[in-house]
């Protein structure tokens, strides 16, 4: 299966202004060691990965069935059965656009966190492009194994620090970890809507003052009671986060996958 094509829009503008939680903490929310052997991310190679065996709509139905039957274990079963409709085989174009545009003065030193990392394309891109010590976590051991395989095959230079680990995002706050940047793509919509306030509480706890929370809001579909992904609108993030955050960027990506056109928005928050 070929990777989805992309569409380019007008240039971005800067504005001033699940349950995926396991029953128990799987691992402390701490970065692991950097890869020990020289490894330069080959973006072209990433686009050759064929993550989906079923059509996306059928994948969604199968995913919901697995989650309903196995709850949090359903995520690992989904990876085992290759039911991963969120996996596009490469880093998200909207994330690449945001970072490469330099529209924001994003940190280039410190630590980054990517919860619900899946195969880890975005985590590798963040570590490579920003130079942050990046921790990517997922509750699926199969996903983490796939992510580590990708790291090993990506020929990353030894200066790139990225760790793919089994872990629970909601444990990060109690672990006392702090991050200069957190990236959320489809994690917010994977957890139950009733957990969104806890998501915000954890974000407020782990992001350093002056740090950034990048939220790629997707999918912006009509209201629905089914999930995952659960119904979402950009204001849902603001409602959950409350005071203490400044929305510094809010744009429709100029470059996005065909399947994402009209269904995503890039919003970035800065911790006060």
Are 53 and 82 contacting, i.e. CB atoms less than 8 angstroms apart? yes
Number of domains in the chain: 1
Question: Which letter does DSSP use for residue 262 in this model?
Answer: T
b or e along 62-95 (b: 16 or more beta carbons within 10 Å of the residue's beta carbon)?
bbbebbeeeebebbbbbbeeebbbbbbbbbbbbb
pLDDT score at 7: 52
- Is it the case that residue 175 has pLDDT exceeding 90? no
Report how far residue 97's alpha carbon sits from residue 208's, in angstroms, rounded to the nearest whole number: 24
User: Mean of the pLDDT values across residues 94-99?
Assistant: 98
The number of beta carbons lying within 10 Å of the beta carbon of residue 219 is: 17
137 lies in some domain: yes
Report how far residue 152's alpha carbon sits from residue 163's, in angstroms, rounded to the nearest whole number: 11
pLDDT score at 256: 81
Report how far residue 25's alpha carbon sits from residue 39's, in angstroms, rounded to the nearest whole number: 30
Structural domain for 100, as ranges: 6-271
Are 251 and 266 contacting, i.e. CB atoms less than 8 angstroms apart? yes
- Is it the case that residue 113 has pLDDT exceeding 90? yes
Report how far residue 21's alpha carbon sits from residue 132's, in angstroms, rounded to the nearest whole number: 25
CATH of the domain at 10: 3.40.50.150
Query: For residue 64, which phi and psi values (nearest 5 degrees)?
Result: -60, -35
Q: Which residue has the tokens 């969120």?
A: 86
Q: Among 36-45, 50-59, 84-93, 137-146, where is mean pLDDT lowest?
A: 36-45
pLDDT score at 56: 65
- Is it the case that residue 36 has pLDDT exceeding 70? no
Q: In which band, very low, low, confident or very high, does the pLDDT at 197 lie, cut at 50, 70 and 90?
A: very high
pLDDT score at 57: 73
Write the pLDDT tens digit of every residue in 51-90: 444 466 788 899 999 999 988 899 999 999 999 988 989 9
Q: Among 19-28, 112-121, 208-217, where is mean pLDDT lowest?
A: 19-28
Task: List, edge to edge, every strand of the sheet that includes 207-217.
Answer: 162-166, 133-138, 111-115, 179-185, 207-217, 265-271, 245-251
- Of the chain, the percentage scoring pLDDT greater than 70 comes to 79
User: Mean of the pLDDT values across residues 142-154?
Assistant: 97
85 lies in some domain: yes
- Of the chain, the percentage scoring pLDDT greater than 90 comes to 71
1 lies in some domain: no
pLDDT score at 41: 43
pLDDT score at 42: 45
Are 177 and 29 contacting, i.e. CB atoms less than 8 angstroms apart? yes
> First-to-last CA distance in the chain?
44
Q: In which band, very low, low, confident or very high, does the pLDDT at 201 lie, cut at 50, 70 and 90?
A: very high
Angle between helices 141-153 and 121-130 (to 10 degrees): 40
The number of beta carbons lying within 10 Å of the beta carbon of residue 132 is: 24
Are 180 and 212 contacting, i.e. CB atoms less than 8 angstroms apart? yes
């Amino acid at each position: 299966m070929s990777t989805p094509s992309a569409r380019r829009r007008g240039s971005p503008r800067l504005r001033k202004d699940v349950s995926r939680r396991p029953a128990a903490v799987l691992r402390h929310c701490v970065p692991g060691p950097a890869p020990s052997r020289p490894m330069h991310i080959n973006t072209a190679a990433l686009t050759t990965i064929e993550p989906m065996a079923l059509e996306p709509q059928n994948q969604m139905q199968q995913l919901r069935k697995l989650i309903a039957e196995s709850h949090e274990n359903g995520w690992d079963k989904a990876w085992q059965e290759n039911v991963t409709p969120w996996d596009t085989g490469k880093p998200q174009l909207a994330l690449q656009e945001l970072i490469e545009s330099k529209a924001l003065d994003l940190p280039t030193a410190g630590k980054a966190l990517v919860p619900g990392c899946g195969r880890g394309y975005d985590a590798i891109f963040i570590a490579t492009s920003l130079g942050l010590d990046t921790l990517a976590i997922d509750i699926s051991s199969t996903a983490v194994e796939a992510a580590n395989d990708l790291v090993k095959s990506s020929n990353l230079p030894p200066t790139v620090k990225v760790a793919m680990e089994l872990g629970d995002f909601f444990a990060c706050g109690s672990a006392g970890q702090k991050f200069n940047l957190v990236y959320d793509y489809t994690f917010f919509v994977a957890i139950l809507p009733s957990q969104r306030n806890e998501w915000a509480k954890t974000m407020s706890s782990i992001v350093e003052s002056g740090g950034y929370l990048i939220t790629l809001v997707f999918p912006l579909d009509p209201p629905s009671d089914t999930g995952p992904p659960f119904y979402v609108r950009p204001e849902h993030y603001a409602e959950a986060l409350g005071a203490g955050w400044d929305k510094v960027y809010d744009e429709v990506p100029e470059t996005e996958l065909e399947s994402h056109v009209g269904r995503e928005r890039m919003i970035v928050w800065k911790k006060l």
